[in-house]
Chains A and B, each alone.
Chain A
Amino acid sequence: MSLWVDKFRPKTLDDLHYHQSLSIRLKSLAASADFPHMLFYGPSGAGKKTRISCTLRQLFGSGVEKLKIDQRVFISPSKRKLEINVVQSNFHIEITPSEAGNYDRVVIQDLLKEIAQTQQVDLNAKHRFKVVVINEADSLSRDAQAALRRTMEKYMSNMRIILCANSTSRLIAPIKSRCLLMRVAAPTPEEMQNVLEHVAKKLKFDLPEEASQQIAEDSGGNMRKALLVFEALKMQSPDLSGSLTIAKPDWEIYCHKVADLIVQEQSPARVLEVRGKLYELLAHCIPPTIILKTVAERVVERVDEAMKADVMHWAAFYETRMRLGNKKIYHLEAWVVKVMSLYKHFMYNFDMADFE
């Protein structure tokens, strides 16, 4: 039995619930003979992947659902072996080049050239070209992106590329200018409620209005999260009535605890305590950016208006540092200490002003 997220994932463009205009566009593009390279971008859980797979289906028919997973070995210039998982059907191939780390350029070069130089052998295929889906395109290195540039033009006759990214900021301009950009915005709460109701109807039970509203609000535009939460709730209380408490993930509660610690007291001992908690979070593989953002957002809720901007400023500042450096904990801690000192200063000045 699969999760509801997978079970009720729309299979065709007609099944999609929201962004109708986008679906119409994709449909007409798939029907026309010249399909462009495409770049799907939008926040996570907005339905980029779903739209890509629907488009592929629209392009080639149900044949694209016969997937096989291959493990391919690439050899880097320094003779290092790289093993990459490749998901492919007869008509398309899906790769996540960021698995290869620094050597993603090699993967892109080898794989794309290989595909570009093989013709479609199946004479019944609807289109002459194969499609290469590149996931997490925004984490491709500059080199790999540069390697894509000319390939995208030269092998247009038997290959199309579909890139999937969270944002276009990290893609180089030449790539963007070669693709048709498809923005997939997060669904609005109403649209999410529609989807939830649709799922409920399929499973033949009633979904109370308040429950769906609550789930939609809580998930912050992330459809996948909403469905997962929905399923979890259904497990907890089968009738979905009464007051529902959506369980927050453990790490989020933990992050909130850290934020509370920072606001309550500012002392070296407290820093030590916070550090222990931060280590704990990092050890559980919570991405440091998410830790920083969650803690910062919580801190901001609890401090004075005048300080909020500063807290966020330093969060942004140290987040950038964190990207450049490679020891994350230093920068997390630096931020904590910075916020504490800001808070102290603020309270101190405030107090003094009050006394005078």
Chain B
Amino acid sequence: MAFFQAKSTSATSKHFVDPAHQPWVEKYRPKTIDDVSAQEHTIAVLRKTLVSTNLPHMLFYGPPGTGKTSTILALARQLFGPDNFRNRVLELNASDERGISIVREKIKSFARQTPRAQAVASDGNVYPCPPYKIIILDEADSMTQDAQGALRRIMETYARITRFCLVCNYVTRIIEPLASRCSKFRFTPLDSTSTSSRLSHIASAEHIDVSSEVISTLIETSGGDLRRSITYLQSASRLSSSTNPPVPITPHDIQEIAGVVPTAVINDFAKTLGISVVEDMDVDDLPTNWKLKGFNAVQKKVKGIMREGYSASQTLSQLHDTIILHPTLPARQKAKCALAFAEADKALCDGADEELWVLEVGLRIHKAVTTS
């Protein structure tokens, strides 16, 4: 990692990389842990460690885009300063080879080095620079069991001069002996207020005009994943600014970028399945139509959706929301539908054919709704 970084920094000095071309997620990565959005509890604990300069081994876990990597990078930067950062921090992620041999060689040799003397910070600030190094294992849940096992003893032996920070999405994939050696920090999905404040901060820094509807659409589509909403915002602003004359960003743009299936399509599909959608509550002749629309109608509709290229999992999850939040459908029917959704999700995860399963879900819902 240190090697790569050295290279990229020298490269950036040679070829000037316009910061405007950087992804905003990198550009607006928090510089200090105080900048990290939400996660008050974790930040409070870490702030104390910054004062005492003593750090336990740490395990950060939580859903994507909640600031795990940002937090540890910001913390390391605050501890060591930009000059010492390179030789005190080793970052390994899933894009690096992390088999057992790497754990034995690279990680071990880095862990056993005694940290070098603190270099004088060039920017004039004073950094605590405690006498240990940090090894960041990003996306640690994709490490093999063996590689994790090999880490166990290393973590203990060199605990005096090296601290580990494991970052992962699923804490259950980390073997118990490793998890018990770390203090765990759970990162929660961001609440809408902190997401919206962060997004509007970025928007104002980038001089783009976003309405409150756009921000609420962003929050809705990203589901607490800040990185995703920032990426969407950047893509949308790219699209809007590149047309001539620039057009304002609309919630529809965001939905298209996010790959969300338009509500009209979902409602239409639901109607074909015999579920009356809220807007059509006044239409009373629906039940008679149900019998007419049988298998063939459903099949045709599914084929249409697949031809439009919408993703099956996205379609199903949106249909799921429509049905589960439906105001009038009896609970029993909802339960039957939910069962169908669950099975389809598993099948899709296993790589089953999308069209078959969307059709299957459609037919089962149709059956559940019509025969009550």
Contacts and interface: CB of A to CB of B under 8 A. Distances in A.
A60 to B, nearest CB: 16
A298 interface: no
Interface residues of A, number: 67
Interface in B300-343: 306-314
A112 B299 CA distance: 42
B20 A33 contact: yes
Contacts of A151: 95
B259 A319 contact: no
Interface in B140-180: 142
B139 A77 contact: no
Given A153-B26, A173-B64, A177-B225, A146 B11 contact: no
B95 A46 contact: no
Contacts of A16: none
A124 interface: no
Interface stretch (A179-187, A256-264, A273-281): A179-187
A177 B227 contact: yes
A156 B312 contact: no
A109 B356 contact: no
B52 interface: no
A167 interface: yes
A34 to B, nearest CB: 4
A213 interface: no
A296 to B, nearest CB: 8
B99 interface: yes
A293 B20 contact: no
Contact of A183 (B22, B228, B259, B363): B259
Contacts of A323: 350-352
Interface in B2-35: 4, 7-8, 11-12, 15, 17-18, 20-23, 25-26
A72 to B, nearest CB: 18
A312 B356 contact: yes
Contacts, number: 175
Contacts of A158: 11
Contact of B311 (A149, A156, A167): A167
Interface string A185-212: 1100000000000000000000000000
Interface in A117-158: 117, 119, 128, 142-143, 146-151, 153-158
Interface stretch (A22-30, A89-97, A342-350): A22-30
A316 B307 contact: no
A37 to B, nearest CB: 9
B257 A29 contact: no
Task: List the 10 closest A-B pairs by CB distance, nearest first.
Answer: A28-B242, A42-B309, A177-B228, A316-B360, A308-B295, A146-B94, A168-B311, A320-B352, A169-B313, A150-B93
Interface of A: 24-25, 28-29, 31-34, 36, 41-43, 46, 77, 109, 112-113, 117, 119, 128, 142-143, 146-151, 153-158, 167-170, 173-174, 176-178, 180-181, 183-186, 220-221, 289, 293, 296, 300, 305, 308-309, 312-313, 315-317, 319-320, 323-324
27 contacts: A28-B239, A28-B242, A29-B238, A33-B18, A41-B259, A42-B309, A109-B96, A112-B95, A119-B15, A143-B142, A157-B21, A167-B311, A169-B354, A180-B235, A183-B256, A183-B310, A185-B309, A186-B309, A220-B307, A221-B307, A289-B353, A293-B355, A308-B363, A312-B299, A320-B352, A323-B351, A323-B352
Interface of B: 4, 7-8, 11-12, 15, 17-18, 20-23, 25-26, 64-65, 93-97, 99, 101, 138-139, 142, 222, 225, 227-228, 231, 234-235, 238-239, 241-243, 256-259, 294-295, 299, 306-314, 347-348, 350-357, 359-360, 363-364, 366-367
